[in-house]
C-alpha cells in the first residue's frame, strides 16, 4: 500500500485559489503575478490578516496522508482537488454525504480515503472537524473530537444540527461579569486556542481550561460576505456564499471581543495580547483588531441574543460564582462527605478519650510526686 503526502506544500498561488474557492475573491493581475498590488479594492491585500488561518490550512492539508493501493487514485491528489470539493458543496448545499461522494469519486474505489478528503474540505470551509459515523469511534481514540456527518444527511442540515440554538434567560444580566481577567483571577481559568468552532467557550473544569475559537479573521471574512444580505438568510443560502450562518459568526466574534476580552478594557486587551504570542497560545493576532463598518451595517445594528453560545457563557458564569475546587481545596472537599464526617467524629471521640486518660494519668502522677515530697521532705542545707 502506497503512502504519501500530496498536499505537504502550499504555494501563494494555491492560497489565492483557496480564497477564490472559499469566498469568491477576485484577485488583481499584479497580486496574481507576485507584483506589488495597484488595485485599491483587491481582496488579496487582506491576506496578511489571514496569516494564522493560512497556517492552519497548511497544517490540516500537510497531515493528509493518501493511503491507496497501486492503481488507485487518492481522494486528494492536489490542493485543486480540495478546492473542487468546496466548490461542489457551495453549489449543492442540500447534497448528502453519499451523494457528494458519488458525484466526486465515481471512478475511485478507495472509499475511506475519499471520506477523509470530504472531512478536510468541510474543516477548511467551516472550521468544523467532522467524520463519518464509521470513523468517529476510531478517531476518538487519538484524542480527536469529530462530529459525524452521516451519509444520508444533507450538508446544510448537518451544519444546522451541530450548532443548536438554546435560550439562556439571564444572559443579559451575566454577560457584563464574564471578563476573562476575572475568570483567570477568581477561578484560575486558563485559555487555550481551538481550530474547531464547535468547541468555542467549552469549559473543562478538571483542567481549568476554556477553549477559544480564535480565528477572528476567518469569521470576519464570513461577516463581510453577509453584511448586506437579509438577516433571515437560510443556512443553505449561506453555504452558497461559502459562509457560516451570520448570527453564528457574529455571536462567536462578540463573545470574544465584547464579552470575554473587551478591547476597550486595558487589562483585557493585555491578557489577549499575551495569548497571541507564539511562545504561549499563538492566538490569531487579528483578535486584537476591531472591525465595524466592514462587517456590520451601522444604520441597522444587530441584536445578539446569544442563542448559540449562551449556555456556555452560563457555564462560565457558574464557574466564576462557584469555582471548582482544585489543589488542597479539592482534597478537603473530597473528605467533607458524610462518610468522612462520621469517620472524623469517631476519631475525635477516641482522641478526646485518649487525652482525657492522659490528663488523668498526668494528674495522678503529679499527686503522687506531691505526696512523696510531703512524706520525704528535702533537708534544709542552711
Q: Is residue 363 part of a domain?
A: yes
Structural domain tally of the chain?
3
Q: Is residue 70 part of a domain?
A: yes
Q: Is residue 382 part of a domain?
A: no
The predicted model gives 273-288 an average pLDDT of 95
pLDDT computed for residue 142 by the predictor: 39
- More reliable by pLDDT, 294 or 371: 294
Q: Is residue 27 part of a domain?
A: yes
Cα separation, 13 vs 18, whole angstroms: 9
The predicted model gives 189-212 an average pLDDT of 97
Q: Is 24 left (phi over 0), alpha (psi -120 to 50) or beta?
A: left
Q: Is residue 378 part of a domain?
A: no
Shared domain for 343 and 285, answered yes or no, is: no
Shared domain for 16 and 143, answered yes or no, is: yes
Shared domain for 273 and 363, answered yes or no, is: no
Q: How confident is the model at residue 3 (pLDDT cuts 50, 70, 90)?
A: very low
Q: Is residue 380 part of a domain?
A: no
Q: Is residue 167 part of a domain?
A: no
Instruction: Note the pLDDT tens digit of each residue in 114-153.
Output: 999 999 999 999 999 998 765 544 444 334 578 999 999 9
Q: Give me the chain's average pLDDT, please.
A: 89
The predicted model gives 171-197 an average pLDDT of 95
* Residue 51 DSSP class: H
Which 3 state secondary structure label does DSSP give 186?
A: helix
The predicted model gives 174-191 an average pLDDT of 95
Q: Is residue 137 part of a domain?
A: yes
- Comparing CA positions, the residue from 248, 272, 229, 244 lying closest to residue 125 is 244
Shared domain for 269 and 317, answered yes or no, is: yes
Instruction: Note the pLDDT tens digit of each residue in 328-338.
Output: 544 444 444 56
Shared domain for 152 and 185, answered yes or no, is: no
Pairing between strand 190-194 and 203-204? Answer: unpaired
pLDDT computed for residue 341 by the predictor: 66
Cα separation, 316 vs 347, whole angstroms: 39
The predicted model gives 179-200 an average pLDDT of 97
Q: Does 368 score more than 90 pLDDT? A: no
Q: Which domain holds residue 36?
A: 2-162
Shared domain for 227 and 194, answered yes or no, is: yes
Shared domain for 210 and 267, answered yes or no, is: yes
Instruction: Note the pLDDT tens digit of each residue in 212-244.
Output: 999 999 999 999 999 999 999 999 999 999 999
- Of 70-74, 91-95, 368-372, the range with the highest mean pLDDT is 91-95
Q: Which of 103, 129, 162 is the last residue of a domain?
A: 162
What are the CA-CA distances from residue 360 to residues 193, 350, 371, 372 (Å)? Answer: 65, 15, 16, 18
Q: How confident is the model at residue 324 (pLDDT cuts 50, 70, 90)?
A: very high
Q: Which of 96, 128, 162 is the last residue of a domain?
A: 162
**Cell digits of residue 158:** 448537518
Shared domain for 103 and 243, answered yes or no, is: no
Shared domain for 6 and 148, answered yes or no, is: yes
Q: How confident is the model at residue 381 (pLDDT cuts 50, 70, 90)?
A: low
Shared domain for 193 and 309, answered yes or no, is: yes
Amino acid at each position: 500500500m502506497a503512502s504519501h503526502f500530496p498536499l505537504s506544500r502550499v504555494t501563494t498561488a494555491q492560497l489565492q485559489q483557496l480564497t477564490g474557492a472559499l469566498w469568491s475573491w477576485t484577485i488583481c493581475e499584479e497580486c496574481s503575478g507576485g507584483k506589488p498590488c495597484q488595485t485599491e479594492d483587491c481582496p488579496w491585500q487582506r491576506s496578511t490578516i489571514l496569516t494564522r488561518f493560512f497556517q492552519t490550512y497548511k497544517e490540516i492539508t500537510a497531515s493528509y496522508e493518501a493511503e491507496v493501493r497501486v492503481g488507485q487514485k487518492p481522494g486528494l491528489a492536489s490542493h485543486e482537488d480540495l478546492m473542487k470539493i468546496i466548490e461542489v458543496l457551495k453549489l449543492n448545499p442540500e447534497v448528502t454525504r453519499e451523494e457528494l461522494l458519488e458525484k466526486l469519486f465515481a471512478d475511485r474505489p478507495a472509499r475511506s480515503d475519499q471520506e477523509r478528503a470530504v472531512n478536510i474540505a468541510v474543516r477548511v470551509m467551516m472550521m468544523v472537524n467532522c467524520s463519518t459515523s464509521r470513523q468517529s469511534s476510531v478517531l476518538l481514540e487519538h484524542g480527536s473530537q469529530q462530529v459525524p456527518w452521516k451519509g444520508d444527511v444533507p450538508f446544510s442540515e448537518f451544519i444546522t444540527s451541530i450548532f443548536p440554538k438554546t435560550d439562556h434567560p439571564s444572559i443579559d444580566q451575566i454577560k457584563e461579569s464574564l471578563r476573562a481577567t476575572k475568570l483567570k483571577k477568581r477561578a484560575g481559568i486558563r485559555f487555550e486556542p481551538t481550530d474547531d468552532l464547535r468547541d468555542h467557550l467549552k469549559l473543562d473544569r478538571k483542567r481549568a481550561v476554556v477553549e477559544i475559537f480564535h480565528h477572528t479573521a476567518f469569521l470576519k471574512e464570513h461577516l463581510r460576505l453577509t453584511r448586506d444580505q437579509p438577516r433571515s438568510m437560510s443556512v443553505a443560502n449561506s453555504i452558497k456564499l461559502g459562509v457560516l450562518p451570520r448570527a453564528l459568526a457574529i455571536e462567536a466574534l462578540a463573545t470574544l471581543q465584547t464579552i470575554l476580552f473587551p478591547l476597550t478594557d486595558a487589562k483585557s486587551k493585555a491578557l489577549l495580547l499575551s495569548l497571541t504570542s507564539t511562545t504561549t497560545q499563538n492566538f490569531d493576532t487579528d483578535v486584537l483588531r476591531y472591525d465595524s463598518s466592514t462587517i456590520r451595517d451601522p444604520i441597522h445594528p444587530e441584536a445578539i441574543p446569544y442563542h448559540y453560545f449562551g449556555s456556555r457563557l452560563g457555564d462560565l458564569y457558574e464557574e466564576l460564582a462557584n469555582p471548582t475546587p482544585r489543589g488542597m481545596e479539592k482534597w478537603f472537599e473530597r473528605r467533607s462527605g458524610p462518610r468522612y464526617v462520621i469517620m472524623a467524629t469517631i476519631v475525635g471521640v477516641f482522641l478526646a478519650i485518649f487525652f482525657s486518660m492522659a490528663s488523668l494519668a498526668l494528674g495522678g502522677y503529679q499527686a503522687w510526686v506531691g505526696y512523696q515530697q510531703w512524706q520525704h521532705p528535702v533537708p534544709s542545707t542552711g
